Amino acid sequence: MDFTKMHGLGNDFVVVYGEQELPSNASELAVKLCDRFFGIGADGLVYILPSAKADFTMRIMNSDGSEAEQCGNAIRCVAKYVYDHGLIDRTEMTIETLGAGVQKLRLTVEEGRVASVRVDMGEPILDGLRVPTTVDQHPVVNHPIEVDGREFRFTAVSMGNPHCVIYVDDAVSFDLGTWGPKLEVHPLFPRKTNVEFATVNSRNQIDMRVWERGAGPTLACGTGACATLVASVLNGSADRSATISLKGGDLFIEWDEHDNHVYMTGPAEVVYTGAVVL
């Protein structure tokens, strides 16, 4: 199987093009290929497939074999792949996702290659039961959650996948490995959740570290960056556009007050291409 190793701010993927549908053993393949010691190594396995609704379909299998509804970093990688490989010659395209429907993308091209991608991530889902959480509120803002005797307060946002945004004094040095996995599987989140720990440094700049559902700690999370901005606006601590600084780099996020859509702008990179015997 031919593949391309790609990343968006260090959130890395094994990207595969050429299949007509998601393989029946995609979950098993993701666990095998994403293993960083015995496989290629990645946060997820991404398939670029045909679509009846959009230019392409993206399907994402996490490194634990579960399927992700959406991934902001992966969709930028897909956009770069299809443009750089001549599968599309337009700088505007649409990609169908499992959880967020059809999304519109605009490419910035330099010397014939995609340098950055602006993605219309759609409207955030703020109703607690639809995120989903077990909290029947709209929105769920600054809500208490207790784990192992420690109380946090979270804001719930779905960007096609669930997010739990928690504010801490120093996101950069926060003990992600201790609290991330426990909050991911907390009973308040019936489908588990991505967990973002954030520190608002100004109304236009936020530090964030993420524990991704099904993948663990990653260097970046595009939907998590979007959820963090939305949560910060809801909490009154940020403007509607801000730079979200992740471990792997920065994403620029906008929440448009006119159409209620969230827009994400960031890079995507190719690491190498290869082939693997399955």
Question: Residue 272: is it exposed, middle or buried by C-beta count within 10 angstroms (0-12/13-18/19+)?
Answer: exposed
Per DSSP, the residues of 140-183 read: --SEEEEETTEEEEEEEEESSSEEEEEE-S-TTTS-HHHHHHHH
Which residues line the annotated binding site for substrate?
11, 62, 72-73, 161, 194, 212-213, 222-223
- Return the active site residues: 71, 221
For residue range 192-217, list pLDDT tens digits in order.
999 999 999 999 999 999 999 999 99
Could you tell me the domains of the chain?
2-122+266-275 (3.10.310.10), 128-260 (3.10.310.10)
Per-residue pLDDT for the chain (278 aa), expressed as one digit of tens each?
Answer: 999 999 999 999 999 999 999 999 999 999 999 999 999 999 999 999 999 999 999 999 999 999 999 999 999 999 999 999 999 999 999 999 999 999 999 999 999 999 999 999 999 999 999 999 999 999 999 999 999 999 999 999 999 999 999 999 999 999 999 999 999 999 999 999 999 999 999 999 999 999 999 999 999 999 999 999 999 999 999 999 999 999 999 999 999 999 999 999 999 999 999 999 99
Give pLDDT, residue 12: 97
Question: Which ranges of 168-257 would DSSP assign to H, the alpha helix?
Answer: 176-184, 222-234
